Amino acid sequence: MSLIEIKNLHASVAGQEILRGVNLTINPGEVHSIMGPNGSGKSTLAGVLAGKTDYTITEGTVTFKGENLLALEAHQRACAGLFLAFQYPVEIPGVSSMQFLKAAVNAKREYRGEPELDAVKLLKLFREKSKMVHIDPEFLKRNINQGFSGGEKKRFEIFQMAVLEPALGILDETDSGLDIDALRIVSEGVNTMRSKDRAFLVITHYQRLLDYIVPDHVHVLVDGRIVRSGGKELALELEQSGYAQWQTETVSL
């Protein structure tokens, strides 16, 4: 059974249609990448799947683990196993990173009918996962993303994902603004999490990220539709030719 199945998904913002019939199926264990020009709908798709309220769904269905994803609130989607790593993680002054993660972990466990983790088990979990993305455990004593560099914010996003262990990790241009060392560290964290039961949807402008997180499938999103799908070689082709050919072709769709 597929992990997530998106059928004919249409979505708009402030009356402007952005997604115009997206179809995509992701199976457990797969890594899919979506590439496309600015304004093509990549981040809109990520936001719609995560349950952001800015968007209006006008048509289509999304089934996640056999359940109607669009009927769930954002926190229910997260508890069900969906995680979104933001392109621009925000600072949240006054909210401790450790307390935030403690609340998130135990909310997810409660959703699944599992007992809360006590402080000792939580600290052990945080230490184990911090090693995965080379993040200093001292960061957990700071407020969420406050005073973090761009690379540290992205690593903290991957750290959150490692702690929460989602079934589907969505990375919305996580490579944006990263230098080569930070990109490698973030990618290592994602690759460490790859498993037969977990899938990833990696949204990016650039092929360079896919040198580190090698996808099973690459999709080209243009004008709110997936116009082409292929393997890693498609990303290499896009690196050479850009998106102009796909934008021309989508006019006839």
Q: Are 192 and 180 in contact (CB under 8 A)?
A: no
Q: What is the 3-state secondary structure (H, E, C) of the chain?
A: CCCEEEEEEEEEECCEEEEEEEEEEECCCCEEEEECCCCCCHHHHHHHHHCCCCCEEEEEEEEECCEEHHHCCHHHHHHHCEEEECCCCCCEEEEEHHHHHHHHHHHHHHHCCCCCCCHHHHHHHHHHHHHHCCCCHHHHHCEECCCCCHHHHHHHHHHHHHHHCCCEEEEECCCCCCCHHHHHHHHHHHHHHCCCCCEEEEEECCHHHHHCCCCCEEEEEECCEEEEEECHHHHHHHHHHCCHHHHHHHCCC
pTM, entire model: 0.92
> What is the per-residue pLDDT across 57-87, written as a single tens digit (0 to 9) for each?
999 999 999 999 999 999 999 999 999 998 8
Q: How high is the pLDDT of residue 44? A: 95
Q: Is the pLDDT of residue 250 over 50?
A: no
Residue with tokens 């999709």: 219
Instruction: For 85-109, write each residue's pLDDT tens digit.
Output: 988 888 899 999 999 999 999 999 9
State the CATH architecture for 4-250. Answer: 3-Layer(aba) Sandwich (3.40)
Split at pLDDT 50, 70, 90, the class of 3 is very high
Report residue 238's pLDDT band, with 50, 70 and 90 as the boundaries.
confident
The predicted model gives 155-177 an average pLDDT of 91
Domain boundaries, the chain: 4-250
**167-211 confidence digits (pLDDT tens):** 999 999 888 777 888 788 888 888 999 999 999 999 998 788 899
